Each structure stands twice: as structure tokens, then as C-alpha cells.
Homo-oligomer: A and B are copies of this chain.
Amino acid sequence: MIAITDADDPRIADYRAVRERDLVGRMGRFVIEGEVVLRLAVARGRFPLASALLSEKRAGLAETIPAGVPVYVAPQAVMDSVTGFPIHRGVLAVGVRGDAPDPRALLAALPPRALVVALVGLTNHDNVGGIFRNAAAFGADAVILDGETCDPLYRKAIRVSAGGALVVPFARAGDPSALLDLLEEAGFTSLALSPRGADTFATLRPPARAALVLGTEGPGLPDAVMSRARTLRIAMAGEFDSLNVAVTSGIALHALAGLDG
């Protein structure tokens, strides 16, 4: 544990103005907020920690951090000052993302029965975070992102995912067509979800390797994706045909995971 008394201390530079900056893009690092997500990150160990920054009240959490990782402890006021906004929970950490995984290798390594989620053009951090939370809850094996979809390790996406972004492996494919190629090569049946989908979940017998393909709420999935996939819809009451894409993912993953027995 290293006591920090000065918000300008260079050792905690990673935490400066975390709300405005996105460590992910420029430095290959990402920010973890809160005890629950920090404990999850440590337990899963997919990403090494670069450091942790705890308020004095939360210094007890230092014992959960792996040996060798610097744990900075600061008065609440110093912590708020360096980050630029009140860190009520008093728990921050910085993770290291490492090399980008190869999507082909990730898919090939999955078991014969597998469920993955494929995201096309999802640029909203709340939605991507929400989808990762559902993917973790229903045991999805991986998430494949197209080039447009935002980074699941962005601070807000991790928070909304309740840590799911640190649990479910993900990799980035190129454009939607390259993404579908990858899924096909790996023996996955793409199930494209859209209000224009042909079938509902009531009649679906999930394939052994299923890829749930999700697009944005407004424009939806491009025709080039719809025409190459088996298309599904969630039946709604009709006059109000509108579901958030994270909710949609929850309904679809619940149906596909088949955990209700």
C-alpha cells in the first residue's frame, strides 16, 4: 500500500480525469470502478491489474489485490480531485488489456455446443455494457464485435456490464460480412434478430453452435446480414413495436441458453 497525499502525484496519473479520457484507446489500459467489479476482475484474472486506487475508508480491499500490484490509498478528497468527479464508492483500478485476441482462434477453441453473441454497429456504451451483462448471466461463450461496435472495456460499458465485459471473452472482426464469414467458418449458425425476422423463438430449435447477431435499434441489421442469416423476431403487442437492444439480447439469450430446464 502506498499512501498518496497529492492529487498531482505522477504515480496515479492513470486516474487523472478518468471521466473525460478514455484510457482504452490510447494506452491499452482500462478503468475498473467499484468493489464488485474489482473483485470479479481479480477472481477471473483475464486482465492483469496495473494498479488500484482506494479511498482511505476502503483501504481494507487492498488484501484482495494480487501481490506485486501497487495499491495507492488516498484521502477521499484527493481521490475526487485526481479523477475529477466524486468517487463515492472509493474503489478504482486500472487493468491492462494486452494483445487483441484473434476472433478465429477464439471461435475455434469453443466447445462443440456453444453460444456466441455478434454485435454489428453498436456504438452506445450502455447497450454494449448491458449486452455483456446478459451474455455473462446466461453463460454465452464469447462476443464477436464488428469494426463499428464500441469498446467493451470503455469505463461506462464495464460499469453497466456489472463486470460482464471482464468475464465473457471477446474479439473484434472487421465489417459485418467478414464477421459472418468467421462465424460460418467456425460452424456457427447465425441467428439475426430483427423486427423483420421470419421466425419467433417459440419454433426455434437452437443449433449446436449458435451466434445471436444484434444490430442497432434504429436502422437495425443491414440487408447483407439478414440475407445470410436465419432471421428471428420477438413478437410484440403490435402498436408499440420497440425494445431496447440490451433487453432484446436478454430475451434472446434466455431463450437460447435454455437454462430454465
Contacts and interface: CB of A to CB of B under 8 A. Distances in A.
Interface of A is mostly: loop
Contact of A242 (B136, B139, B202, B251): B136
Contacts of A242: 133, 136-137, 162, 164
Interface string A231-252: 0001111101111101110110
Nearest to A235: B259
A85 interface: no
Nearest to A251: B254
A39 to B, nearest CB: 12
A138 interface: yes
A52 interface: no
Given A236-B138, A240-B164, A240-B167, A260 B200 contact: yes
A192 B202 CA distance: 24
Q: For this complex, into which size category does the number of interface residues on chain A fall?
A: 35 or more
A251 B248 CA distance: 9
Nearest to A164: B240
A237 B257 contact: yes
A202 B200 CA distance: 17
Q: Report how many copies the assembly holds.
A: 2
Nearest to A139: B237
A51 interface: no
A237 B138 contact: yes
Contacts of A167: 240
Contact of A247 (B40, B235, B238, B250): B250
A241 B234 CA distance: 24
Contacts of A254: 234, 251
Of all A-B residue pairs in the complex, the 3 with the closest CB atoms, nearest first, are A139-B237, A235-B259, A200-B260
Contacts of A136: 237, 240, 242
Contact of A259 (B163, B236, B243): B236
B261 A200 contact: yes
A103 interface: no
A176 B242 CA distance: 30
Given A234-B254, A234-B260, A137 B241 contact: yes
